């Protein structure tokens, strides 16, 4: 197994403290900065983020609910084991739900939605060309959000959100090809929506999630994330 990256010092700026801490810990786990089986102590995490232990405990309990952290009755925590199949399942589920939302969004789409997506995509590509990764992440989120909300399917969207929280938010900093994939794969979806082709939109958006999942697994492979026990599950 390769050497792990050091745990970065971070400052929490937005949303609730527990949500931001959970996001950061989730990213640390998925990208191997915290390895499977590692203990996660509330005091150490609180010191890392410069906060009290209360939001840390809330964050750890949220991650335990997702299955990313193992919790015992005495509030001790360890990073749960995750296999390649687990990561594949996350992205398969994401693709299934996102594809259905894209299909419904296409059925209900107006010219205003197409115009909105084109505008967001232009900003996304400009940010990517400028290597402004914060803006890349933001406009990618805006693009997906616009499609998801246009579907007018709140139950599917709520289920998708429960899956999306398990996906690292800062993939564009880490994954070779993630930005290029979105640059290439967003415009065909816009055209499918413009031309009212819901089945094609579903197929394209399902494939888009699978592309990201493949890149994440490739990154984890290269960084020695998996251990023998998790791969034998």
Q: CATH number of the domain that 122 lies in?
A: 1.20.120.530
Q: CATH number of the domain that 53 lies in?
A: 1.10.10.10
Sheet order of strands, 69-71 included:
39-40, 77-79, 69-71
128-to-96, 98, 178 alpha-carbon distances in Å: 27, 23, 10
If asked whether residues 108 and 74 sit together in one domain, one would say no
pLDDT at 12 (0 to 100): 46
Is residue 40 included in any domain, yes or no? yes
28-to-103, 140, 206 alpha-carbon distances in Å: 33, 21, 26
If asked whether residues 112 and 73 sit together in one domain, one would say no
What is the domain extent for residue 69? 17-80
If asked whether residues 48 and 96 sit together in one domain, one would say no
If asked whether residues 156 and 95 sit together in one domain, one would say yes
Phi and psi, residue 77, nearest 5°: -130, 145
pLDDT at 231 (0 to 100): 55
pLDDT in tens, the chain (233 residues): 556 666 655 544 456 889 889 988 988 887 778 888 899 999 999 999 999 999 999 999 988 888 889 888 777 899 988 888 988 999 999 999 999 999 999 999 999 999 999 999 999 999 999 999 889 989 999 999 999 999 999 999 999 998 887 776 676 667 888 999 999 999 999 999 999 999 999 999 999 999 999 998 988 888 777 765 555 55
């Amino acid at each position: 197994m390769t050497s792990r990256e050091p745990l970065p010092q971070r400052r929490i700026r937005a949303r609730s403290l527990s949500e931001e801490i959970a996001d950061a810990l989730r990213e640390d786990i998925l990208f191997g900065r915290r390895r499977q089986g590692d203990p996660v102590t509330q005091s150490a995490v609180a010191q890392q983020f410069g906060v009290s232990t209360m939001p840390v405990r809330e964050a750890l309990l949220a991650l335990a609910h997702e299955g990313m952290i193992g919790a015992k009755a005495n509030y001790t925590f360890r990073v749960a084991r995750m296999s390649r199949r687990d990561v594949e399942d996350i992205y398969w589920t994401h693709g299934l739900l996102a594809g259905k939302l894209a299909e419904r969004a296409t059925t209900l789409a107006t010219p205003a939605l197409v115009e909105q997506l084109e505008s967001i995509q232009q900003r996304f590509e400009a940010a990517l060309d400028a290597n402004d990764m914060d803006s890349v992440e933001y406009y990618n989120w805006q693009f997906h959000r616009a499609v998801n909300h246009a579907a007018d399917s709140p139950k599917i969207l709520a289920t998708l959100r429960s899956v999306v929280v398990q996906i690292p938010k800062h993939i564009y900093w880490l994954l070779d090809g993630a930005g290029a994939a979105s640059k290439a794969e967003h415009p065909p979806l816009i055209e499918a929506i413009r031309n009212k082709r819901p089945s094609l939109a579903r197929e394209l958006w399902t494939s888009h999630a699978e592309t990201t999942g493949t890149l994440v697994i490739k990154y984890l492979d290269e960084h020695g994330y998996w251990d023998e026990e998790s791969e034998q599950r």
